[in-house]
Amino acid sequence: MNLKRAFRVWQRNATVYKKLYRSSLTLNFFEPMLYLVALGYGLGGFIKEIMGMTYIEFIAPGIVMSSAMFAACYECTYGTYVRMVYQKTFDAVLATPISFSELVLGELLWGTTKSLIYGTIIILVISLFGLIKSYFAIFLIPLIILCGLIFASLSLIATAIVPGIDSFNYFYTLVLTPIFLFSGIFFPVEDMPEVVVKLSQINPLVHFVNISRAFSYGKITQTLIYDLTIVIVYLIVLLPLPFILLKRRYLL
């Protein structure tokens, strides 16, 4: 595998994005802002304090991670699927020296880049709200990249197995929405029934939210090692799968 050729695929997506970013940037940015304002201030008015923080302080670091997650997911489900099936971009690329694995890597890195773009914007916004209180917050950047890689991989796996574009609804409703709602962004999952607590331990976003909260407020504890280990295990397990599964779907 040649990184430069994978970069060419990334570069193609970046070229298209540069032309169209105005419309998508505002939209993708709008949704997390809605959560932050509507829940942070709206619901926050009824919640005095949660784990020693105001409600908006509690949810803001999690919103950074969920934005990063959704950015990679949209890109590597709908975006990749359209390029693969409708626009036949994959066909065009594969007629050049770029190999299938390089193509997949390019898509994966592009999805991760989208996470980085949207995650970083949310960090900037919440720091304007005064919600970033520690220099450790700088580590949110590599954390977003890790989150992007994991969810880009997961989404490419979905893209490799869906029979058609409408089937992504299942992925969003049955996989991503529960991951998002039970991630500990909006309420601590530890207070839920035991089944939910146990299930939440296999939810990768839970761990990203824990780490993000710790970095944002500089509360570095030993449990971070546990959270980091889990997400790294996720990365190692998920990363090879898009290459295998997409190849199986695509190459004849």
Partner 1 sequence: MSIVVGKNLTKYYKKFKALDSVSFEIKEGECFGFLGPNGAGKTTLMGMIYGFILPSEGEIKIFDITLNDKNLPQIKKRIGVIPQDNNLDPDLSVLENLIVYARYFDVPKKKALKRATELLKFIKLEQWSNINVRKLSGGMQRKLIFARGLINDPDIIILDEPTTGLDPRSRRQIWDKIEFLKHSGKTLILTTHYMEEAEKLCDRLAIMDKGKILIIDTPKNLSDKFGGNLEHVYLNMTEG
- The tokens for 186 are 């909006």
- Which residue stretch of 10-18, 53-61, 126-134, 149-157 sits at the interface with partner 1 (rule: CB under 8 A)? 10-18
3-class secondary structure, 203: coil
Instruction: State yes or no: residue 15 binds partner 1 (CB under 8 A).
Output: yes
Name the nearest CA neighbour of 153 among 218, 49, 240: 240
- Give the tokens for residue 146: 């890790």
Min CB(72)–partner 1 separation in Å? 20
Question: Which range of residues in 5-13, 167-175, 206-214, 230-238 is near partner 1 by CB under 8 A?
Answer: 5-13
Give me the sign of the Cα torsion angle 172, 178, 179, 180: positive
Which residues, 120 to 179, sit near partner 1 by CB under 8 A?
A: none
* Residue located via tokens 């990768």: 204
Binding range to partner 1, per CB under 8 A, among 7-15, 22-30, 50-58, 146-154: 7-15
CB 89, min distance to partner 1, A: 6
The tokens of 207 are what? 């761990």
Residues 6+ apart with CB under 8 A from 196: 182, 189
Q: How far is CA 100 from CA 39, 95, 111, 213, in A?
A: 43, 10, 17, 38
Q: Which stretch binds partner 1 (CB under 8 A): 16-24, 68-76, 132-140, 238-246?
A: 16-24
**In angstroms, rounded to a whole number, what is the distance separating the alpha carbons of residues 110 and 132?**
27
Residues 69-108 that bind partner 1 (CB under 8 A): 87-89, 91-99
Question: If we measure between CA atoms, which residue out of 30, 53, 224 comes closest to residue 143?
Answer: 224
In angstroms, give the least distance from the CB of 244 to partner 1: 15
- Cα separations in angstroms, 198 against 155, 201, 204: 24, 5, 13
The reply on whether position 252 binds partner 1 by CB under 8 A is yes
Site string for partner 1, 34-73 (x = CB under 8 A): ----------------------------------------
5 scored as a contact of partner 1 (CB under 8 A): yes
Q: How far apart are CA 52 and CA 71, in angstroms?
A: 30
Q: How many residues bind partner 1 (CB under 8 A)?
A: 24
Asked if 19 touches partner 1 (CB under 8 A), the answer is yes
Contact between 2 and partner 1 by CB under 8 A: the answer reads yes
Using CB under 8 A as the criterion, which residues of the chain lie in contact with partner 1 when the complex forms? 2, 4-5, 8, 11-12, 15-16, 19-20, 87-89, 91-99, 251-252
